[in-house]
Structure formats: structure tokens, C-alpha cells
Structure 1
Amino acid sequence: MDEPHLSEVCLNIISNAIKYTNTGGWISCNVVQKSCEKEDWCNMIISITDNGIGYKKPPV
């Protein structure tokens, strides 16, 4: 994934976390970069968590 698209995805997820997490709640973003066998590439593990209301599946 290229940097502009990765940034867009992360910002959208973080924006939703902010929108749906009440005052006093928490949001955490963690990024781990790991080496890759391919030169000038890396593997990234991105974790975004919060204690907001989350996704509620509508009733069927």
C-alpha cells in the first residue's frame, strides 16, 4: 500500500474512534515496523483501538 492511501485509511479509522468515544474514553494507536526481505520495503503492523460504542449490527 502506498503512503497516501495508508494515511487516509488510518486517519479515517482514528476519526471514527474520536467521533464515537465519549469524553473520558481512550484511543490507542500503535505502529510497529519490521524488516522485510525485499530491499527498501518493510512490514508494518498498525493497531488502532478504543473503548467507544463500536460497530452495532442493525437487527435483521
Structure 2
Amino acid sequence: MLDDLQERRTARKQELLIELIRQQKRPEEITMFIKYFNYVLPATIFHLAHTLLK
């Protein structure tokens, strides 16, 4: 199950990166997106799940 989730997350990340490139976003904007997707979003989801499971 975790592998499937990771595969879907990776596929979604790739789709979004392609869309950012298609929209001709600046490298700084793409870097910000990658940082958000890799660090902020998972931490937020983890915190939400932890809160809901209390």
C-alpha cells in the first residue's frame, strides 16, 4: 500500500512539474514548489493524520 501511495505521489509531482514548465515558471518558482511538495506538504499531512488518530 505504501509503495502504491508513493508511486501516485511521485506521478502527481511529475505532472505538476511538467505543468509548471509548460506555464514557463521561473526556476525559483519551481524550486519553491519542489521544497513545498517534498517537505511542507508531507509534514502537514503527517500532522493532520496524527491529530485525527488521537
If you compute each CA radius of gyration, which structure gives the higher value, 1 or 2? 1
Structure with greater proportional strand content: 1
**Bigger RCO of structures 1 and 2 (CA < 8 A, at least 6 apart):** 1
